[in-house]
Each structure stands twice: as structure tokens, then as C-alpha cells.
Chain A
Amino acid sequence: MSNIPSELKYTESHEWVKDNGDGTVTVGITDHAQDALGDLVFVELPEIGKQVAAKDACAVVESVKAASDIYSPLSGEVVGANDVLDGAPETINDDAYGEGWIFQLKLSDPSQLDDLMDAGGYEQLLADEG
């Protein structure tokens, strides 16, 4: 069974979102997503300062067999990117919810957070996808 921390929010495209409480959020991919992709070999990070809208493709994770877009869960400005992944993409495989975070956003509309799924909703989504 996938690990789905209860304090995070989730998207249908398997990103997780952590509310940092200061108008910014941290984004990564879920344990389920990293497991499905397999050993990651490259992460293309978004540029700091880039404006993104919710559901824009803004990063890419690559395994040897697949390349998958990471969609911004919310609208805002990219204010952080996890440089550790440049040299060690496997960090996502090892610790998807911690050291393996991908980027941080300063939200243009913090109320959008409410549109995301909670852990229960995401668990249901995974069950439905079977």
C-alpha cells in the first residue's frame, strides 16, 4: 500500500502539496508516482521566478523508460527548486515526501488550496485507478 501522509494535499496527476503557512507551498510527486515511474534518472526543474498557472506543465521527471510532466498544482510564482535533484534524482525514489521535494510556489490565490484532494480523496483515487 502506498504511503499517503495525512497532512498533505494531492492532485489527480499524483503531485503532493505541502502548505508552508506563509503563502508558499512545496510540491513533489507521491510515493505511488515514484514507484510507478521506477528508478529516476533525471529531473528538469522549473526556473526560479517563472509564473505558472494551475495545471501548467512545469517540470519533468525521467526514468529510463518514461518521461513524465509534473504539473503545477496551483497558480503562482516559482520561488524555490530542489537543486539536490540535479545530481541525485534518486532522492525522489528514496524520500518522495521529504528530501525529494521538487519546487516551491508563492501562491497567487491561497484559496485554491481548498480545491485539492486530501489524503482520503487521494487514497480513493488510487483505489479507483486500481
Chain B
Amino acid sequence: MLIQEHSRPGRRATAQAPLATPDPAELPPARRRKQRAALPEVSELQAVRHYTRLSQQNFSIDTHFYPLGSCTMKYNPRACNSLASLPGFLARHPAAPESHSQGIMACLHELQAMLKSVTGMHAVSLAPAAGAQGELAGVMMIRAYHDARGDHARREMLVPDAAHGTNPASAIMAGFQVREVPTGRDGDVDIDALRAVVGPQTAGIMLTNPSTVGVFDRNIQAIAKTVHEAGGLLYYDGANLNAILGKVRPGDMGFDVIHMNLHKTFSTPHGGGGPGAGPVGVSKRLEPYLPIPLVEQDDDGYHWLDEDDRPESIGRLTAFGGNMGILLRAYIYARLLGAEGMRRVSEFATLNANYLQARLRAAGFQLAYPERRASHEFIVTLKKEAKDFGVNTMDVAKRLLDYGYHAPTTYFPLLVPECLLIEPTETEPKEALDGFVEAMIKIRAEAEHEPETVKQAPHHLPVRRLDDVRAARQLDVAWKPAASLADSQR
């Protein structure tokens, strides 16, 4: 039932609104609303109960193991939320003067410094509001760099075929043409294919390393050399930074620009689909183009750098400089971890992934890259199960929900058929991994002996499998009051 359907005319939560105020007679009648908006009229208790119940229909990290590949669903420490929600931080207006901002600016400045250090980059901007915006900022800086040198022919961005969909989409937004580079059989970029496509038109390459197939590209130095010698720049998609945090630094691999997903590696909440934060780091030659604002420190304290200080900047990406509340959470997380804690993130994420991979392999599941080490994630292909039992990856994913496990990422990367991309993260205990393996074994047995159970899954969730086709064909994306529906049908 929708909150709108709980609504009764005249019911209200009076304590929550200001006391009645005189009608704003100064507003010209022509500018006034003719009819009240159809928002729900419910009591506070009704709202609290309704949304509490809705929350209980979700899987979440706090309630379930969530081995969603490429998404880094690790524990979001509660302290990060409560400290970022201190009244002083929540009440600060974005246009507050620097005199009333030194506390938060200190946090942001230190976060910039820590992110520089852990990525090996020369400078960092915290401005992008999400990973995809960080990508856009990154490729826009690459374009700004070439344009500033008068190198206007470099309009082609190379993207591996296994890349996240945001990579090509961001490159297009920055005005590039996209050219795909194939992945070799071993999961590394096909270096010969790369050599064949670079040239004076190459602006750069967008890479994730470890890649989206869950392995560290051993040719990274050769890739960097090839692209740099052709005059292009290297873009690092930080989606998988959790795998190498504190172990390998993108700057040392030869990358010129990177974005980080703080909602992955730095454990800020996913929130049911955002907010994120996507800071970007750059090598020295790209520093002038960083998105603003930036925080700098001098003898008088901390200062904002904006358009006037950075005239070559690619500019502003949101009205007020980014998702500050998320940046604070990441800062708090980084301070709790320290350098040693950061190294342990990648170590234990890798340990958990390789352990889970070994156990699933021993249980007879087929790995997509069996000869490779898992990074922080790995791919199982259910090609054989699909062929033998007629049960596909989506069916298995839905059945896992019945067993209380959020499904791994399905059907990504696109180049491995019937795949599950599995990322356990470092915060899961061994027991959770073992339980997941048991569930996979049981589901495979079900697929063999009672395939309908799997194909019809889930059975124990608030709803059974949903009709996506109906949702798209008979679009219903907003509730309308009955009266207005009657109007529109007349």
C-alpha cells in the first residue's frame, strides 16, 4: 500500500509544521497555485510505521551478506554517520564564510592529502558528486590538456570491452568518440590489439585495474608505455581500488588521472542508490584543470580555491562543490583505519575473494579465469548449469535471495556468458563465506533435481518475480489521485 493510499482528507501531523501563518497576501494571485498538491495527509505515526515497514522489505549490508561484484558492499561504520551528523556540520551553510568553516575545511584538506598519498597522484579535487561525475571530470581534464596544447586531433578515447558502461557514456559526454579494445583470453587487455589502434587521434585510455573481470592486468606498464608514447593519457577508473588500497598506487602504475568511488573503497553508504562521491586525482600536468572548489592551506588557515584562482579549471560540477557529508564520512573512515588499516583492506578483501573462489572451484563451479589469482573479486560462469539444467544465472541469483544472500552481480562483464561477479569484501567473516558456498551447492542440486524451484524463485520475499516487461510496456511511474485519473480518462 502506498503512503498516498493511507491519506485521509484533513488528517495532518501538526507538530511538524509551523503554526498557522497569515495568508501571504503579497504574492500576486496570478502566481498562486490554484489547487493544493496531492501530497499524502497522514499522521506522524502512520508515516513512521509505513516507512519502517518499507525498510524491512530491503536487503542491506546491515542485514545480509551482499557479495555484489564491482560494488564493494562492505560494512559502513556507524561512527562515520553519527560524527558526520554532528549539529555543527549539518547546520553549516555552503556559503558560510571561511571564518566559520575552518573545522570542516581542515577535514577536507586532510582528506585531499590522504587520497593523494594512497593513490600516488599529485593533486586531488573532492568536487565530483559520484563516480560517473568523477569519470566525466577526468575525461574532460584529458580533453582540456590536449586542447591547451593545441592538440585538437585527439578525439578518440579507448575503452576496454569489459569496462563499466559509464566509461563510454562519460567519454561521449566529454565529446570523444569511443573505440573499444578487446580483452585477451587471460583477462588482460589484448596488448597487440591496443598497439594497433593507438595513434595521433588517441586522447587516452580508460582502465580499471584490477579489471572488471577480477584480475590484475599484468601488462599495465606496457599499456602505459604504449599509450603515453602515442601521446595519449591514462585514466584510472577507481571502481576496484579496494583490491589494491595501500598495496599498489595508480600513480606508480603510470596513470595520469583517476577517480575514486568513496562509497566503495572508503565505505560511505550506498543508501539504496546514492549519494556517492567521486574525487579525482591527477598528475602534475593536469593539475590546472581540476574541478573546483579545492581547499588550500596557508599561514592564515584554510581557503577555498574557485574559478578566480583556477581559470583553466574544467569548472563547477554541482552548485555547492560536492557531497560534503559523504566526504566527511570518508574522512572519518580513513582516520579510523590509518595507513596500516588501509593496507589491510586490500589484503583481507583479496584473502576473502581467493578463499571463496577456491571453495567454489572445489565445489565444482566453473571459474571464468581459473588460471588467475582473484583480486578482490572473481567470476563464476554458470554456462554448464544453464546448458545441463536449463537454469540460468538470473534464476540462481533469485534463488540466492531465498537463502538470505544478496545475489552477486549478474551478466556483467558482458563478455563472459552466464556470469556471476562475486566480491565478498574484507569485512565478512569466514562463516558468511562458507554459508554462501553451501547455498550455491544446494541451489545447484535443486537446479538438477527440481529446476522449477529455481526458475520460479524467489519464493520467500515480499514479492515473487516481477514482470519487467509489463513495467516497461504499461508504464506506471507515478500515482495519481482518483479524481485526476477520471479527468484524464474523460
A and B touch in the complex (CB under 8 A): yes
B36 at the interface (CB under 8 A from A): no
Q: Which residue of A lies closest to B474 (CB)?
A: A41
Binds A, one of B53-61, B425-433, B447-455, B465-473: B465-473
Q: Which among B468, B471, B473 is the interface contact of A89 at CB below 8 angstroms? A: B473
> Closest CB of chain A to B466's CB: distance in Å?
11
Residues of A within 8 A of B473 (CB): 41, 89-90
Q: Which residue of B lies closest to A88 (CB)?
A: B473
Complex CA–CA separation, A90 to B472 (angstroms): 12
Q: Which residue of A lies closest to B394 (CB)?
A: A65
- How many residues on B have C-beta within 8 angstroms of the other chain's C-beta atoms? 5
Interface residue tally on A, bucketed by range: under 10
A44 at the interface (CB under 8 A from B): no
Complex CA–CA separation, A42 to B472 (angstroms): 8
Residues of B within 8 A of A39 (CB): 469
Q: Which residue of B lies closest to A38 (CB)?
A: B469
A64 at the interface (CB under 8 A from B): yes
Residues of B within 8 A of A42 (CB): 472
Residues of A within 8 A of B471 (CB): 64
> Closest CB of chain B to A13's CB: distance in Å?
17
Complex CA–CA separation, A36 to B182 (angstroms): 23
Residues of B within 8 A of A62 (CB): 472
Residues of B within 8 A of A63 (CB): 469
Complex CA–CA separation, A19 to B488 (angstroms): 43
Residues of A within 8 A of B469 (CB): 39, 41, 63-64
> Which residues of chain A in 54-71 are interfacial with respect to chain B, using CB atoms and an 8 Å cutoff?
62-64
> Closest CB of chain B to A42's CB: distance in Å?
7
> Which residues of chain A in 23-50 are interfacial with respect to chain B, using CB atoms and an 8 Å cutoff?
39, 41-42
Complex CA–CA separation, A113 to B468 (angstroms): 39
Interface 1/0 per residue, B454-490 and A, CB below 8 Å: 0000000000000011011100000000000000000
Complex CA–CA separation, A89 to B472 (angstroms): 11
Complex CA–CA separation, A42 to B468 (angstroms): 13
Complex CA–CA separation, A60 to B242 (angstroms): 38
Complex CA–CA separation, A89 to B470 (angstroms): 12
Complex CA–CA separation, A39 to B472 (angstroms): 10
Interface 1/0 per residue, B313-352 and A, CB below 8 Å: 0000000000000000000000000000000000000000
> Which residues of chain A in 83-127 are interfacial with respect to chain B, using CB atoms and an 8 Å cutoff?
89-90
Complex CA–CA separation, A89 to B475 (angstroms): 13
Complex CA–CA separation, A62 to B468 (angstroms): 13
Complex CA–CA separation, A90 to B469 (angstroms): 10
Complex CA–CA separation, A105 to B13 (angstroms): 62
> Closest CB of chain B to A36's CB: distance in Å?
14
Interface 1/0 per residue, B186-217 and A, CB below 8 Å: 00000000000000000000000000000000
Known: A41-B473, A63-B469, A64-B472. 10 other contacts (CB 8 A): A39-B469, A41-B469, A41-B472, A42-B472, A62-B472, A64-B468, A64-B469, A64-B471, A89-B473, A90-B473
Enumerate 8 A-B pairs (CB-CB under 8 Å) in ascending A order.
Answer: A41-B469, A41-B472, A41-B473, A62-B472, A64-B468, A64-B471, A89-B473, A90-B473
Interface residues of B (CB under 8 A from A): 468-469, 471-473
3 interchain residue pairs of minimum CB distance: A41-B472, A64-B468, A39-B469
Interface residues of A (CB under 8 A from B): 39, 41-42, 62-64, 89-90
